[in-house]
Structure 1
Amino acid sequence: MKKILILFIGISFLSFTDHKYYIALTEIEHNPTNNSVEMIMNVFVDDIEKAINTDYDTDLQLNTKKEHQNTNSYLTKYLKNHFKISINEKQVEYNFIGKEYDGNIVYFYLEIENINEVKSIEVKNDVLVQYFSDQQNLIKAKVNGDRKSLFLTKKNDKGLLKF
Structure 2
Amino acid sequence: MLKYLMLVVVFVGSSWVHPMHVSVCEINFNQKDHSLEFTHHIFIDDLEKSFRQSFNKPYLDINNPDVGKTTDELVAAYMKKHFKVTVNGKSALPKYLGHEVENDAIYTYMELDGVKTLSSIRIFNDVLTEVYDDQVNLVHVEIGEDISSMKLTPQRKIDELKF
Taking structure 2 as the reference length, the TM-score comes to 0.82
Listed as ranges, the matches of 1:142-161 within 5 Å are 142-161=142-161
Residue in 2 aligned with 1:4?
Answer: none
Matches within 5 A, 1:131-150: 131-150=131-150
Q: Which runs of 5+ in 2 are unaligned?
A: 1-15
Change (3 A) 1:116 1:71: same
Instruction: For residues 32-59 of structure 1, give each alpha carbon's deviation from its aligned partner in whole angstroms, at most 9, with x where no partner exists.
Output: 1111100100010011111123224466
Structure 1 portions without partners, runs of 5+: 1-16
Larger Rg: 1
Aligned to 2:111: 111
Runs of 4+ in 1 over 3 A off after TM superposition: 56-60, 66-69
Structure 1 residues 148 and 70, CA gap change in structure 2 (3 angstroms): same
Aligned positions, number = 145
Q: How does 1:53-68 map to 2 (within 5 A)?
A: 53-57=52-56, 60-63=60-63, 66-68=64-66
Structure 1 length-normalised TM: 0.82
Alpha carbons of 1:142 and 1:51: their partners in 2 closer, same or farther (altered >3 Å)? same
Aligned CA RMSD, in angstroms, stands at: 1.7
Distance 2:60 2:118 in 1: 36
The answer as to 2:32 corresponding to 1:30 is: no
How do 1:125-136 residues align onto structure 2 when only pairs under 5 Å count? 125-136=125-136
Deviation of the 1:95 alpha carbon: 0.9
Q: Distance in 2 between matches of 1:34 and 1:18?
A: 39
Aligned partner of residue 54 in structure 2, secondary structure: helix
CA deviation map 1:84-123 (0-9, x unaligned): 0110011100111111111111000110111111111100
